[in-house]
Amino acid sequence: MLGATMWVRGMLMAASSHRALAILAVLAVPVSVSWSACGGSTEASRDGGTDTGGSSGSSSGSGSSSGGGSDATGIPPPQASTACLLLGGVSNAAWLWNGATWSIAPGMPPQPGLEPNIGSLNGSLVVSGGYNEVGGTWLWNGTQWSNPVNDAMSPSPYRQSSALATLNDKVLLFGGCESCGGNFGLMGDTWEWDGQSWTQLHPAQSPPARFGAIAGTVAGKIVLFGGESYAAATFNDTWEWDGTNWSMASPSTSPSARVDASAAVANGKLLMFGGAADKSLQPLGDTWEWDGTNWTQLTPAKSPSARWDAQMGSLRDTPVLFGGADTQGNVLGDTWTWSGTTWVAVPAAMATADSIGSMGCY
């Protein structure tokens, strides 16, 4: 696995686009290998989307699951299980963050491959797509996986790098790309998951099609920022979803254009870190906050190194950031948490490095 990771690093440095990287990474790391088989040591410390969104990291929520009867899938909910799940990526791993340490997730997850789409709803996670051949929609209740939906009325099983967030007890999915690579299908559609099934929505107005945007729920609306369309390069526009329609916001200050930044909601604001400035994958290392009206650049005393495609989630209003890729294309394995004013490095490392995965908190 280490040799495969080193091969991916070399390809990272040579790739002209990060979608080309996705295909190369799939070739380098077989997705058929189980998540526990890649737990060998690769590098240093760690970090933590939603995602984006990525980012996808880029689509995390937080919450807790209480006891009670079985849900619609017939699986009893776990008792007070609160954690963040890191899934997929170069290592095709499944790890849990409990607020202090990482551990291998129990059970056998789907094989989501690169940039699966993860949303949080009522104490469970919904996983859709990713560069894989599994298909369908998967649910994680904190202890077990189930596959209740596998029909034509779902987002494509090969869709990657979409933006997800939760509003009004529904998970919203926007955009992404189909089997992202040299020839890919860029998407600008909007879907909703209500806990039972997916519904494609047809709002009167939508953001331009894109992949690698971030999203989160702030002040009663879903906010979406950035992403990339190959023709239009990277975006720095901000959009809001009110439950019915998209509208473009007009903040007085905006971050620079970027794709595959990392983001999570904490204390009623969306925290964003890093990303790639353009197709050259030049990583960024800045920290921004959206309060529902405007963007503010923060000046923390310490920060993670510049990176793109790190995974990020928020557990009990404390954002955690892991992995990503740096300016040389090295796959990272450090963990950072956000104190509210600065980034704090977590000394305990997970036994792998990763990028192009996704994180969801429940």
User: What is the amino acid identity at position 187?
Assistant: M
The model carries a pTM of: 0.80
Count other C-beta atoms under 10 Å from residue 317's C-beta.
13
The answer on pLDDT for 216 being more than 50 is: yes
Please answer whether residues 50 and 56 qualify as being in contact, where contact means their C-beta atoms are separated by less than 8 angstroms. Answer: yes
**pLDDT tens digits along 267-318:** 999 999 999 998 778 999 999 999 999 999 999 999 999 999 999 999 999 9
Dihedral pair phi/psi, residue 147, rounded to 5°: -130, 70
Please answer whether residues 289 and 270 qualify as being in contact, where contact means their C-beta atoms are separated by less than 8 angstroms. Answer: yes
Please answer whether residues 177 and 160 qualify as being in contact, where contact means their C-beta atoms are separated by less than 8 angstroms. Answer: yes
Alpha-carbon torsion angle 176, 182, 183, 189, nearest 10 = 10
Please answer whether residues 175 and 163 qualify as being in contact, where contact means their C-beta atoms are separated by less than 8 angstroms. Answer: yes
Q: How confident is the model at residue 7 (pLDDT cuts 50, 70, 90)?
A: very low
Q: How far is CA 229 from CA 84, 136, 213, 320, in A?
A: 29, 26, 10, 28
| Range list of β-strands (E), 18-76 | 50-53, 56-58
User: Among candidates 13, 26, 93, which has minimal Cα distance to 283?
Assistant: 13
Is the pLDDT higher at 5 or at 97?
A: 97
